[in-house]
Amino acid sequence: MKLCILGSTGSIGTQALEVAELYNIEIGALAAGSNVALLEEQCRKFGPKYAYIGEKHYNALKTALADTAVKVVTGEETLNAFGADTECDTVLNALTGIRGLRPTVAALKADKTLALANKETLVAGGEVVMPLAKKGILPVDSEHSAIFQCLQGGGRPKKLLLTASGGPFFGKKRDFLKTVTPAMALKHPNWSMGAKVTIDSATMMNKGLELIEAMHLFGVSPEEIEVIIHRESIIHSMVQYPDNAVIAQLSSPDMRLCIQYALTYPKRVPSLTKALDFAHLASMSFYAPDDESFPLLSLAKKTAGVGGTATAAMNGANEQAVALFLEGKISFTDISDIVIKVTEEHASVKSPTIEQIEDADKAARSRVLSLAV
């Protein structure tokens, strides 16, 4: 295997490189947006043939790596085709947001093996992406990796059970949520993740996005997916079969295991993840989601049923609203209020092209900015 990592300096990318080092997986190409120092360090350690960096940082990285054989590249179109054009056979897409859509499409058209950690690719563009996935897509999100594992050899499921930690504000009501600061929302109880996905976890939008992603990955309807709050993050998701037997995937909360399974599938090999000690494992709890305090999950399920560009508009509105919250420009509860309004205003286009998906995303972001003034 020769691996290309899109988003190598982020949380998933850095952990993927830990897995690659453990199993001597060859790194052929690395892409990052702005972290010159870390990307330089990664290039010196793993020796990829290509390194992509955002245009503002191109000269800095090119100078830093001038004494190496790494070819430094930049430009939007270059990133779109980066995984497809490099000599790598496997592409791990760990980019954040809808920015990952075109690189995903290009990689699939080039017949690359795709390991996907960029859920927005399927949320916004699943109708375009899935027909291209002739070899399937290897999921990296912990929940989808768990379902993928539970489905091995089991046949068509009756129901998928997506587990959610409930984030840092489980049990809190709207009056409290109005007071939440970015610092508070970024303190996830179980997982170490990037800022955007951590905020999405706090609002429960992350589970809504994962519901839509699961629909596309596993060919099920919104009604065939149930979300369960599981505070301990030990069961990463479950599958219920027609006989009502439920198969669950359990492990310590460690994204390296999900990444490793995608990169070594179908093999099971030793990992860096700590083994569960059932004799000392605390009790496990389960709850129904609170749709009144955290309405974005139910919005996502409703929008999934609409289809077309509706999910792209919802995703774009959410990305923009989360960015504004992290900048201190809107409140925590404003995120859901604004995203709901923008999504419900959107007139969905059925069977969209990539351009129509991107137009819906841009229009939704612009509308969020107008409402936040």
- Residue-wise pLDDT for 324-354, tens only, equals 999 999 999 999 999 999 999 999 999 999 9
pLDDT over 90 (residue 217): yes
Q: What is the mean pLDDT of residues 217-234?
A: 96
DSSP secondary structure code for residue 150 in this structure: H
Give the whole-angstrom CA distance, residue 252 versus residue 237: 13
Q: Are residues 157 and 111 part of one domain?
A: no
Token pair, residue 247, equals: 């198969």
Res. 154 pLDDT band, cuts 50 70 90:
confident
Q: What is the mean pLDDT of residues 362-370?
A: 98
How many Cα atoms sit within 13 Å of 191 on the Cβ side? Answer: 31
pLDDT of residue 182: 96
pLDDT of residue 306: 96
Last residue of a domain, one of 140, 155, 183: 140
Note the pLDDT tens digit of each residue in 6-39. Answer: 999 999 999 999 999 999 999 999 999 999 999 9
pLDDT of residue 155: 86
pLDDT of residue 364: 98
H/E stretch holding 19: helix 11-22
313 contacts: CB under 8 Å, gap ≥ 6: 342, 343, 346, 348, 360, 361, 363, 364
Residue 256, burial from CB neighbour count under 10 angstroms (0-12, 13-18, 19+): middle
Token pair, residue 230, equals: 């599981």
Give the total residue count for the chain. Answer: 373
pLDDT over 90 (residue 282): no
Q: What is the mean pLDDT of residues 111-130?
A: 96
**φ and ψ of 81, to 5 deg:** -105, 5
* 336 assigned to some structural domain: yes
pLDDT of residue 190: 79
pLDDT over 90 (residue 242): yes
* 239 assigned to some structural domain: yes
Give the whole-angstrom CA distance, residue 88 versus residue 93: 13
Give the whole-angstrom CA distance, residue 115 versus residue 89: 11
- Could you tell me what percentage of the chain is helix, strand and coil, using 3-state DSSP and rounding each to the nearest 5? 50, 15, 35
Full-model pTM: 0.95
Domain that holds residue 330: 307-373
70 with 50: CB under 8 angstroms?
Answer: yes
H/E stretch holding 91: strand 90-93
Give the whole-angstrom CA distance, residue 212 versus residue 313: 13
CATH number for 349: 1.10.1740.10
pLDDT of residue 333: 98
**φ and ψ of 247, to 5 deg:** -105, 130
CATH number for 59: 3.40.50.720
Mean pLDDT check: name the lowest of 186-190, 315-319, 326-330, 353-357: 186-190
Res. 371 pLDDT band, cuts 50 70 90:
very high
Q: Are residues 253 and 202 part of one domain?
A: yes
Q: Are residues 283 and 161 part of one domain?
A: yes
Domain count, the chain: 3
Number of Cβ within 10 Å of residue 241's Cβ equals 16
* 175 assigned to some structural domain: yes
pLDDT over 90 (residue 88): yes
Last residue of a domain, one of 295, 315, 343: 295
Q: What is the mean pLDDT of residues 66-95?
A: 97
Q: Which residues pair with 90 in a beta bridge?
A: 3, 113
* 302 assigned to some structural domain: no
pLDDT over 80 (residue 219): yes
pLDDT over 80 (residue 240): yes
Token pair, residue 362, equals: 């841009």
pLDDT of residue 194: 83
Q: What is the mean pLDDT of residues 110-131?
A: 96
Q: Average pLDDT, whole number, for the chain?
A: 96
H/E stretch holding 3: strand 2-6
* 301 assigned to some structural domain: no
